Structure 1
Amino acid sequence: PHSILAHQIPHGKRERRRRELRERGVLPRREQRLRERLQREPLKPPRPRGTEPGRLDPLRDFYDIWADDNPLERPLAGQDAWFLEQTKKQRVKRPERLRKKPSEAPAVEVIAAGGSYNPAFEDHQVLLLRAHEEELRKQKAEEKLEKQLSLPTGTEAPTPEMRFREECEGLLEESDAEGEETEQPEQPEQRAPPPAPPKEKKTEQQRRREKEARAQAARRSREKAARCRRQELFRLRSIRLQVTRWEAELLRRRQARQAKRRVLDARPRRLGRLKYQDPSLEVQLSDELAESLRVLKPEGSVLRDRFKSLQRRNLIEPRERARFKRKYRLKYVEKRAFREVT
């Protein structure tokens, strides 16, 4: 070759220096730390092929972050609680409301026996009766509201005299009351009663007699109390029976309160502005029942049923579709071209 650079190796002097140090056992700092780490840590079993490392790794250890033996808290064991709280290293206390369900109602309610695709005659009639009563209740509520909002007609319409009497209803009572107050005659002033005569000073004999009477009254009361206590000894059986009845009554009341509380816990609470309303019954008439599953038509909506279930279990508040509200009122403008045509 014409050039001497063709025989030179790139970074030859540096590579020769590295090779000499490696032969003497001197390794780079990075490689030396890596070897120390491999010697210190135990070898893990080989990961099977076809699995991704990370949270999808089947060999990864699982633990509960709320448990007492959480491995994340082992390095913090024995340290000052105030220091851990200030450095945001202490575990946040889990609220008590997350430990219990917001409602005891089941997530999926089993439909009545009459709602089956091939129900018995009695069960289907019971379901039809429930649906009929619900429709009657809705109809009565609508009729009541319509009756309250409707204007009276014919003979029931208010006359001008009735309107005037209604407007003057409170004024006439006030004027009559004022007239009664003015007509009352003036009563003469009541004089104060004369002062009581001063009591005479008691003698020594009177004081001694009063003292003896008080002592006798106290002695009689003590004797009566002792006599009552002696009589109570003979009433131990009846007292025990009264205590047993009282404890049974307390137990009955406690069980009644618990049963009432369970019923209230199963009911939907009012979480927002709207009140929860039960969905309408999904029922088919007798002539609409399918003869087989092939011709069965689905009733209701699974999405609506799950949405109502979340509301019934107090997981979300009852909601309604947002109504369109115009921000600015409409303005009608007569354009120039329209004015020229007209």
Structure 2
Amino acid sequence: MADIESAPAQYKQPSRKGKKAWRKNVDVTQIQSGLNEVRDEIIQGGVISEKTSDQLFAVDILGSADIQKGVSKRHKPLKVDEILAQRSAVPAVPTRKRLSDIADDGKRKKAKVSGKEYDRLRAIAYGGEQVQKDVVQTGEADYDPWAVQDVKKNDPRFTFLEEKKPKVEPNTLKRAPISQAKTGKAIPAVRKPTGGKSYNPLLQDWQSELMRESDKVVEAEKKRLQEAREEAERMERAAAEPESDSGEESVWESEWEGFSDNEDKEMKKKRPERKTLSQRNKIKRRKEAERKATHETKMKAKEQQVQEIKRLAKSVEEKEKARAAVQQALLDKNAELASEDEAGNEVELRKKQFGKAPIPEAPLEIVLPDELRDSLRLLKPEGNLLKDRFRTMMLQGKVEARRQIPYAKQKKYVVSEKWSYKDWKLE
């Protein structure tokens, strides 16, 4: 059964040439459905095709809080990203000079503060003319706002006790530091290193630096051997002292024996007879022979020492000649001698230094022949700028040298690593 509201339609008509056939058999189903849809949209709030995009769609800029929470648990941002993500709402100060707006006469003027506005800001900042007069009259301020003041009041129950004296800074804090150099000259904060201390030095510079350091080591070793020899001699003398003390005690005891009861017996003993002339001559010849033998032994030992000294002197002289030749070549190449600091020599220190502990020796900064490298990939960095700067401050007299306590009790630190599963919460 056909729909009553729908218009009559004949969908399979052979022709529409006639006017009657066209009016009667036209199909208006699509038009009717479209009108119904428009009517329904009007009832629901308006025609969709006539609405703008802002009324139809909404842009979600926040996102889902649950999804963001889960992602943040699994993937924590780095601290550096958090710092960089913080942006101030205040715009940055422009560095480029900008011109003000165009004036009434059509010319551009540079931006400036008027005199009236400048006076007003100055009065706000400095308190007006009266404050300026006070500052001019007083000159330098006597009150130090950064000084630590003790505002504690004494308890009246302990008035009999002596009041605590305030801590006063020593006068030396206001004085310039005293250089620890013997000459008293100022020591630069960063000393210029020599060419021999480079990672890729020239042969002449490296040889001169190596000779200088080797001479220092040789002198230190000679001094150590001399001290060891003197210590050994001192120990030998100390070991020989008890024997001499025992001999003195025996003599002392023998002297006291004369006052014993056996004094008469000792006096009754027969005295030794007087030696004859032949006996005295015989003793004299024996002593002379012993003296000659001892003299010959000493002369032989002395001759051996002289020969050994000559041999050592000859070897030392050859080394000195070779060293002098190298130094002369270096002097010929460099016409002007570098100063003490530029040559890399250590500064000669004062006898009375700042602090009880001596200033530590400078580290050995020379690369040995077997440590030289011909490639940067094999290069091993040496030295410590922090330690060098700290030692320079000691030489400048700014920091007191302290003796290191190797087994001091130090604070213990507990290092723990935080895992992501610890952030889970049961809801």
Q: TM-score range by the shorter chain?
A: 0.3 to 0.5
TM-score normalised to structure 1 length: 0.36
Structure-2-length-normalised TM-score: 0.30
Q: Which has the larger radius of gyration?
A: 2
For CA contacts below 8 A with separation 6 or more, give which structure has more relative contact order: 1
